[in-house]
Amino acid sequence: MRLRCGLAFAIGLLASVPALAQDRMPEIPADKQTEAQKKASDEFLAARKVPVFGPFVPLLRSPQLMLNASNMGLYLRYNSVVPLKLSEFTILLTAREWSQQLEWQIHEPIAKKAGLDPAIVEAVREGRRPDAMGEDETLVYAFATELHRNKAVSDTTYARVVEKFGEQGAIDLAGINGYYTLLAMTLNMARTALPPGVAPPLPPLVK
């Protein structure tokens, strides 16, 4: 009797897990893609030199949106006036804000390679304000945090960002926050899976 009850409890518990973990929009096999999806996949490969991956897998369900998002990402990653280290810092802040595991898993090593202090990365991962940030990092942290949590940027923070990076920098920085929010929302909606064998890097946020 106890065994049957325990088994029933375990089955009930497990039944709630797939809904959280199942990838709703996995990779579409080439032979299952529409003509528009095939064309978008080919254009993506030509532009990025890699097949459709990560957030672009669910986005491929809307081929033109996927291509437009990819092009915006290429600009924000490689042509923005915001230095790469600060751009990657912003991406990690956005990933943490949305608890987006794959976005974090992709960008954490890139951020460290770009020179972001591992102690800063760890603080963000844990949901804490980093203790020791440089002037530029403090500014980017304030800008991103205000945008995500206050849905606006204070006059003081805005003026400092424009002084440091110009009006284009303010737009690019807002764009990085917004673009990676789009990707995080897409990944969370689609429940896009981490690579096999990779444990979720972000712990739950303490409320």
- Cα–Cα nearest to 186, from 44, 41, 70, 50: 70
**Is there a domain that residue 136 lies in?**
yes
Specify the pTM: 0.88
What range defines the domain where residue 178 resides?
Answer: 62-190
Q: What CA–CA distance (Å, rounded) separates 202 from 76?
A: 24
**Number of domains observed in the structure of the chain:** 1
**Is there a domain that residue 201 lies in?**
no
Both structure tokens of 81: 């006036």
Other C-beta atoms lying within 10 Å of the C-beta of residue 5: 9
Which residues of the chain fall short of a pLDDT of 70?
1-21, 207
- Cα–Cα nearest to 146, from 169, 166, 173: 173
Q: At 80, which CATH number?
A: 1.20.1290.10
Both structure tokens of 126: 């844990």
Residue 206 pLDDT: 74
**Is there a domain that residue 83 lies in?**
yes
Count H helices and E strands in the chain, helices first. Answer: 10, 0
Q: What CA–CA distance (Å, rounded) separates 162 from 158?
A: 6
The CA–CA distances, whole Å, from 151 to 72, 135, 157 equal: 22, 23, 13
Residue 207 pLDDT: 58
Q: What is the distance of C-alpha 123 from the center of its chain?
A: 17
| Contact call for residues 146 and 157 (beta carbons, < 8 A) | yes
**Is there a domain that residue 165 lies in?**
yes
**Which uninterrupted H or E stretch holds 156?**
helix 155-190
**Is there a domain that residue 76 lies in?**
yes
**Is there a domain that residue 20 lies in?**
no
**Is there a domain that residue 9 lies in?**
no
Residue 21 pLDDT: 61
**Is there a domain that residue 106 lies in?**
yes
